[in-house]
Chain A
Amino acid sequence: MALNLGKAGQAEMSAPAAIELKGISKAFGPVQANKDISIRVMPGTIHGIIGENGAGKSTLMSILYGFYKADAGEVFIAGKKTEIPDSQAAIAAGIGMVFQHFKLVENFTVLENVVLGAETGARLMPSLAQARKLLTELAAEYDLKVDPDAKIEDLGVGMQQRVEILKALYRKADILILDEPTGVLTPSEADHLFRILKGLRDEGKTIVLITHKLREIMDVTDTVSVMRRGEMTNTVKTAQTNPAELAEMMVGRKVLLRVEKTPATPYAKVLEIENLSVKDEDGVERLKGINLDVRGGEIVGIAGVAGNGQSELLEVLGGYQKATGTVRINGEEIDLTGRNSDGRTRREKGIAHVPEDRHREGLVLDFFAWENVIFGYHNADEYQKSKWLMDNKAIKAETAAKMERFDVRPPIPSLTAKNFSGGNQQKIVLAREMERDPELLLVGQPTRGVDIGAIEFIHQQIVALRDRGKAILLVSVELDEIMGLADRIVVMFDGQIMGERQSGQTDEKELGMLMAGITEPAAPSLPPMRQGAPETWT
């Protein structure tokens, strides 16, 4: 399918595109990240770019913003051929970028951050005064209210993102690129962001939205381009497509978007948590008296915006975070603070843990696959040849078998972990943690950075483990994943459990409220946009 534009599209074709890329190619070593990419982004539209992780979306935008130099190809901005050797040139060409990880100075005020790098002279005061005036105007114009004197570190993520947008607008950006902007937002914050984006579009700005979430594409974009393995495969009008079709374009085959599972048949309680509290190094309470049970044969999903205590909960149960309170596994209390509160003891008690961050925790990236497949279980008898020596041969054989069963590609035990794709790395971790038939499986962000095809497989494996009667505690920031996979949903906010819902008897809106810390269901008079709430988060 080539450019599949409707009548309106043909009319637009005659006007100069806001951005036009012609034949862009970029290789990193042997990896071809972008292959002969051509795309036209029309002015005054929201243009989505969707693709799996590693499809080359971010590389393409980095070329546009001057971070990378393309090996081949041309860039036209508003019909004019433009060289973009660095980000200064991109800004000069009217391009603003909002990164996934914000680039703000934490202990500067909003105003100082906005002005940073765009000061008008040697003296700061006139710049700041000028910026304050402009900021007020922008805030009024686009519904982008932020207190200019607030420090960044005191703002919630939603607010910080607005500062990033303001930064771009202050630099007179006509084209705004947003890279996975909703990853850190609650559903309601995301909705507000989309309202802002639509407002900006209606004022004539051009917006490029990079995401891997189909829902966002459907909700907010006018046109969508699909990338797969470094190539631009399709560009279609959003109104003329649907999520299933887009998913198929992304992966190259039909994909099951829903998790197929039967209703849970829970058995006895496997995990019992009573009054669990955690203080971090600075003495801040990260968990505030959590009470939670997980029974065998059920998946309990913990929903919440990242940073509200879910990670700490997993760390405590995984054995590398001290806590107070009581945790029982099959009725037996486990040590939370003493000598036996480590990962090794937890594994011996039948707790397996797929950590949230496989690069930081789940894998040793410079280890071979076979070394990673025993990681954490390396003290087990079957891996020892004698009292002192490990049985590397047996480990390699076992690894080959596990890689085969979990469809890890390529199935080479002596390949270094960092050389596998995200999905295959995750499969290595899952194979390690699930194949030992644990009593309780802790799963954090099982499909973060994993391609759609592998997501399907991973979800099936988790459901299969549940159906074998095991208890599963799932943490994910992807609400769709929680709603699709969990049998029971618990929402965490600010280190507390805000509420519990049966899966299928709740919706995104209700969960979104809970995620924002609003427990009162009777709050219809609540203004659609809550300025205050995000600031209380850290």
Chain B
Amino acid sequence: MDVIPKWADALLIPLLSILLSFFISALVILAIGEDPIQAFKLMIDGTFGRSEGFGFMLFYATNFIFTGLAVAIAFHARLFNIGGEGQATLGGLGVALVCLSVPWPHWALALPFAIIGGALFGALWALIPAYLQAKRGSHIVITTIMFNFIASALLVYLLVEVLKPEGSMDPATARFAEGTNLPRMSDMLGVIGIEFSSAPPVNITFFLALLACFLFWVLIWRTRLGYEIRAYGQSESAAEYAGISPTKIIIIAMLISGALAGCMAINSVMATERLVLNSVEGAGFIGIAVALMGRSHPFGVVLAALMFGFLVQGGAEIDFWTDIPRELIVVIQALVILFTGALDNMVRMPLEKLFLMFRRKGPQS
């Protein structure tokens, strides 16, 4: 029997981990002479108190859902894709090229092509490490890390030397056509009569991300491909016995992973209305934490992405209103990652003991 029931594994452990990391964060804030209660209040008020803050949270969460799903699908094939950052960077390039190449008349026309552009560039950027892993045995962790650097350098070159409009001092592309502006949450909710701040860039991509979650679930648990990906991830030797080609699984899983990471750019780049340097802002790395915390399940990924969206938005509030340095927000995020990812067993072990104690007192004796 599994020691811990599924619900506890999926919800209780992450929740306890978050609480623990908040507790340590509070100690850190205390140590620098600030009031942690005040800080957390600010984070919560600044995020949930106004629709503006809430909108920013959803905007960040949209990015994290895509990068989180990207890491999660690779996890299912037991591949550690650290390259979400680079794949999202290239995805941004793809989206930008699509948006710049045609004077799009309407967003509904631009969006499908932007999806293709972002997904294709992200997928192709993941394909090279995938090929090297499948055919040459180069470890995917190493290659994807290196490809993050290459992506970043490539983008600098392209923005400075190729895509920058003549005469501009700013390493960024030209502004996209008006027709590429995606409908914002305020526009969409306005239609059904709900007032929502128009300041945050959260847009229709948020729903696209939720759709991606649903498709992810169908793929992993309802299709043959998902079955094979999971089988390969659980046991490579068994997969080979069953006639599942490791090469095929590695390549396909990484293509999907890269495509999902690339799709993040639809949200971030199209909302910025041009491609700038570092448009990913670490979302690729946060995706790793999101996937870990979400147990590689789309539902968990959404929750974890919202959580990290809250941390980013709440962090901005703290930065704005208090003397707590912005770096401390990074510390809090890092603590959450540390506790949910690396220190999983610290919470799990005592919890397992607890459950065992209850069970022994329970029905079987």
Mark A residues whose CB is within 8 Å of B.
29-30, 318-320, 342-347, 353, 355, 360-367, 371, 375-376, 378-379, 384, 388-390, 392, 416, 419
Contacts and interface: CB of A to CB of B under 8 A. Distances in A.
A389 B226 CA distance: 10
Given A29-B3, A30-B1, A30-B356, A390 B227 contact: yes
A497 B250 CA distance: 38
B235 A365 contact: yes
Contact count band on B: 20 to 34
B238 A363 contact: yes
A362 B1 contact: no
Contact of B222 (A320, A379, A392): A392
Contacts of B238: 360-364, 375
B241 A362 contact: yes
Counting chain B CB atoms within 10 Å of each CB, the highest count among A318, A355, A371, A375 belongs to A375
Nearest to B231: A364
A365 B243 contact: no
Nearest to B365: A30
A376 B223 contact: no
A371 B237 CA distance: 16
Interface string B21-34: 00000000000000
B241 A318 contact: yes
B232 to A, nearest CB: 9
B360 A378 contact: no
28 contacts: A30-B356, A30-B359, A320-B241, A320-B243, A343-B240, A343-B243, A344-B243, A344-B244, A347-B243, A353-B241, A355-B241, A360-B238, A361-B238, A361-B241, A362-B238, A365-B235, A367-B230, A371-B227, A375-B238, A375-B242, A378-B224, A378-B228, A388-B223, A388-B224, A389-B218, A389-B223, A390-B224, A392-B222
A344 B356 CA distance: 42
A379 B359 contact: no
Q: Which are the 9 A-B pairs with shortest beta-carbon distances?
A: A343-B243, A344-B243, A376-B242, A361-B241, A342-B243, A320-B240, A364-B234, A360-B237, A366-B234
Contacts of A388: 223-224
Contacts of A363: 238
A323 to B, nearest CB: 15
Contacts of A392: 222
Contact of B234 (A30, A345, A346, A367): A367
B336 to A, nearest CB: 27
B364 interface: yes
B357 to A, nearest CB: 11
B245 interface: yes
Contacts of B234: 364-367
A416 B218 CA distance: 21
A532 to B, nearest CB: 35
Contacts of B240: 320, 343, 361
Contacts of A365: 234-235
A353 B241 CA distance: 9
A361 B238 CA distance: 4
Nearest to A361: B241
Contacts of B227: 371, 378, 390
Nearest to A314: B241
A362 B242 CA distance: 8
Contacts of A361: 235, 237-238, 240-241
A342 B224 CA distance: 17
Given A343-B243, A375-B238, A389-B222, 11 more contacts: A318-B241, A320-B241, A342-B243, A344-B242, A355-B241, A364-B230, A364-B238, A365-B234, A367-B230, A389-B218, A390-B224
A346 B243 contact: yes
A107 to B, nearest CB: 24
Contacts of B360: 30
B237 A319 contact: no
A376 B243 contact: yes
Contacts of B237: 360-361
A111 B92 CA distance: 63
A320 B240 CA distance: 6
A347 B227 CA distance: 18
For B1, B222, B227, B360, the residue with the greatest tally of chain A CB atoms inside 10 Å of its CB is B227
B224 A379 contact: yes
A350 to B, nearest CB: 14
A506 B59 CA distance: 77
A390 B222 contact: yes
A371 B224 CA distance: 11
A366 B233 CA distance: 10
Contacts of B243: 319-320, 342-347, 376
Contact of A364 (B223, B235, B359, B364): B235
Contacts of B166: none
Interface string B59-102: 00000000000000000000000000000000000000000000
In the complex, which of the residues A318, A364, A367 has the most CB atoms of chain B within 10 Å of its own CB atom?
A364
A356 to B, nearest CB: 10
A367 B244 CA distance: 16
Contacts of B230: 364, 367
B323 interface: no
Nearest to A319: B243
A504 to B, nearest CB: 33
Nearest to A418: B2
B241 A376 contact: yes
Interface in B335-365: 356, 359-360, 364
Nearest to B3: A29
Contacts of B235: 360-361, 364-365
A360 B223 CA distance: 24
A128 to B, nearest CB: 40
Nearest to B245: A342
Nearest to A379: B224
Nearest to B222: A389
B239 to A, nearest CB: 8
B195 to A, nearest CB: 41
A2 B235 CA distance: 46
Nearest to A345: B243
A375 B227 CA distance: 9
Contacts of A318: 241
Contacts of B218: 389
Nearest to A374: B227
A353 B240 CA distance: 13
A375 B231 contact: yes
Contacts of A367: 230-231, 234
Contacts of B2: 416, 419
Contacts of B364: 30
Contacts of A384: 224
Interface in B110-166: none
Contacts of B245: 342
Contacts of B222: 389-390, 392
A66 B3 CA distance: 25
A376 B228 CA distance: 10
